Amino acid sequence: MTKITTLPSKKRSGRIVRTAVYIRVSSRGNEQKRHYTELLRNSTGAVPAGLYADEKSNGASTAKRTEFQRLMSDCRKGKIDRIVTKSVSQLSGNIMEYLETIRELKALGISVCFEKEDIDMRITESELIKCQKSR
């Protein structure tokens, strides 16, 4: 099981980080929901800030995802410090939405961690990550 360890940022030094999870699941996504609920529960330095789960059938566009919209609203209200999601593809439907989302979250001081790709936006300054080609 992956474990989230939260490092205090300069902005939030000394504070527990309110961490939310965003996932897109099939209609039988209870296993994934349990995994992320347990992940948050067992994480060091993280206070669960909510599990936001859209059904994959809700469409690729973030405008049609009610839980994504609720997540972003809570971010804008200052209720979330960090988002954990399964992969880059779960966060947005296309590259433009991805860039807009990441830029807004960075402007709000919110970091994003992509579990599958092992990318933590709190550590990297880049919005796009260069993939290594296998030889």
Q: How does pLDDT run across 86-110, given as a tens digit for each residue?
A: 888 888 878 888 889 999 999 999 9
Domain ranges of the chain: 17-120
Superfamily of domain 17-120: Resolvase, N-terminal catalytic domain (3.40.50.1390)
Q: What number is the average pLDDT over the span 15-19?
A: 84
The pLDDT assigned to 6 comes to 44
- Dig out the tokens for 66 from the structure: 């009610």
Taking the model in full, what pTM does it have?
0.77
Q: Which whole number is the average pLDDT over 59-88? A: 90
User: Per residue in 18-55, is it b (16+ CB within 10 Å) or e — as a string?
Assistant: bbbbbbbbeeebeebeebbeebbeebeebeebbbbbbe
